[in-house]
Amino acid sequence: MVTDHQSVRTPRAFGWVDLAVAGLLAALIYAVVTVAREWSGVLQPVPELHLEARYLPLYTLFSLSRGVIAYGVSFLFTMVYGYAMARVAGRSG
């Protein structure tokens, strides 16, 4: 049984979770823009590496982005291939 007290919800303002999600989204957009900016440059046969410690987070971002893209492509292939095989196996069985 639902009473009037249970069905009334008070509107809530922005919470800390909403703020955290917005911050993570802004950081993700910034990371994508930073990586994309590197793709628009001139292709160099031997990349110039800076050995200062301040470049370590940037190199980590590049490495992480390559890994995430590779994982995404692999996951997409696996889902499409698995779906196709499930459909084929479903028809023959």
pLDDT of residue 41: 72
**Residue at token pair 């390559």:** 66
- Average of per-residue pLDDT values in the chain: 84
Residue 45 clears pLDDT 90, i.e. is over it: no
- What's the pLDDT at 31? 86
Choose between 75 and 40: higher pLDDT. Answer: 75
What is the pLDDT averaged over residues 56-71?
93
Q: What is the DSSP letter of 40?
A: T
Which residue do the tokens 């911050």 mark? 23
What's residue 72's pLDDT?
93
What is the mean predicted confidence (pLDDT) over 31-39?
83
